[in-house]
């Protein structure tokens, strides 16, 4: 498939879309090449500093984790993962764990709980030794403590290099103060190349790990990012 051909085709068939290469390619694949559209879109919640977390709003936090007490276990429905499942069609149970931790970043610290399948648990020591981690979760008011906590459903440990890649990419977007072009990005790789040129310690592996959480939008003086993959 070459772009000339696609442009010619879209110009003839849908002239009002002729300026949109990105969509033209999708249409061309579907209508000319008869390919089934199978795009999946993973949208991670915005990266948010702990201080700016809002109750009930899913967010991504990048911070340093510390284990803060005993891990607890409970049995949950194997199908839906709920603790109290009353669906008669759901069979089987699975052991889940709750790990209490503290997460700190440059703005604040928050109590958090990691929800996990017990069989997939990390060692508590591994959590403490992590340089930093990316946590995806939601802030809520705990009925136990009456305090605000982060309920974490997904997390990924970051090495020092991963963390530095993330930070550099954030800085890059902050310096290049034009969030609209990020949302309209058609050549993401050029951005990544220029980031790597500016910082030779960043590898493509760092980028691959970091970029899941990228692509920015801006709200006043506050930048948050997520990637549209």
Q: In angstroms, rounded to a whole number, what is the distance separating the alpha carbons of residues 55 and 53?
A: 7
In angstroms, give the least distance from the CB of 98 to Zn ion.
18
Q: In whole angstroms, what is the distance from residue 185 CA to residue 201 CA?
A: 25
Number of residues that bind Zn ion (CB under 5 A): 6
Provide φ and ψ at 137, rounded to 5°: -170, -170
The residues in 1-40 that bind Zn ion, with binding defined as CB under 5 A, are: none
Q: Which residue is listed with tokens 């970029």?
A: 211
Q: How far apart are the first and last CA of the chain?
A: 22
Cα 68 to Cα 100: distance, rounded to the nearest angstrom? 5
- Kindly state the smallest distance separating residue 121's Cβ from Zn ion, in Å: 21
Tell me the closest approach of the beta carbon of residue 93 to Zn ion, in angstroms. 10
- Binding-site member from 49, 68, 79, 167 for Zn ion (CB under 5 A): 79
Which of 87, 107, 178, 190 touches Zn ion by CB under 5 A? 87
3-state secondary structure of 46: coil
- From the list 22-30, 31-39, 75-83, 158-166, the region that binds Zn ion by CB under 5 A is 75-83
Say how many CA atoms lie within 13 Å of 221 toward its Cβ: 0
Task: Tell me which of 90, 151, 212, 218 binds Zn ion, using CB under 5 A.
Answer: 90
Span near Zn ion by CB under 5 A; candidates 88-96, 137-145, 154-162, 168-176: 88-96
Q: How far is the CB of 219 from Zn ion (least distance, A)?
A: 38
How many residues comprise the chain?
229
Chain residues in the site for Zn ion (CB under 5 A): 77, 79-80, 85, 87, 90
């Amino acid at each position: 498939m070459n772009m000339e051909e696609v442009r010619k085709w879209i110009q003839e068939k849908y002239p009002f879309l002729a300026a949109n290469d990105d969509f033209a390619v999708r249409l061309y694949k579907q209508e000319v090449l008869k390919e089934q559209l199978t795009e999946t879109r993973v949208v991670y919640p915005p990266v948010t500093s702990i201080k700016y977390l809002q109750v009930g709003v899913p967010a991504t936090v990048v911070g340093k984790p510390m284990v803060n007490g005993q891990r607890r276990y409970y049995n949950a429905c194997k199908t839906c993962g709920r603790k109290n499942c009353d669906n008669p069609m759901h069979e089987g149970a699975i052991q889940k764990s709750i790990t209490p931790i503290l997460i700190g970043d440059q703005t604040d610290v928050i109590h958090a709980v990691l929800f996990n399948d017990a069989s997939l648990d990390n060692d508590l020591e591994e959590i403490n030794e992590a340089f930093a981690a990316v946590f995806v979760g939601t802030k809520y008011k705990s009925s136990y403590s009456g305090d605000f906590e982060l309920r974490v459903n997904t997390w990924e440990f970051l090495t020092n290099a991963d963390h530095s890649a993330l930070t550099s990419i954030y800085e890059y977007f902050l310096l290049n103060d034009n969030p609209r072009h990020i949302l309209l990005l058609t050549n993401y790789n050029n951005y990544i190349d220029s980031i790597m040129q500016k910082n030779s310690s960043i590898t493509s592996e760092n980028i691959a790990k970091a970029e899941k959480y990228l692509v920015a939008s801006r709200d006043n003086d506050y930048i948050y990012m997520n990637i549209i993959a």
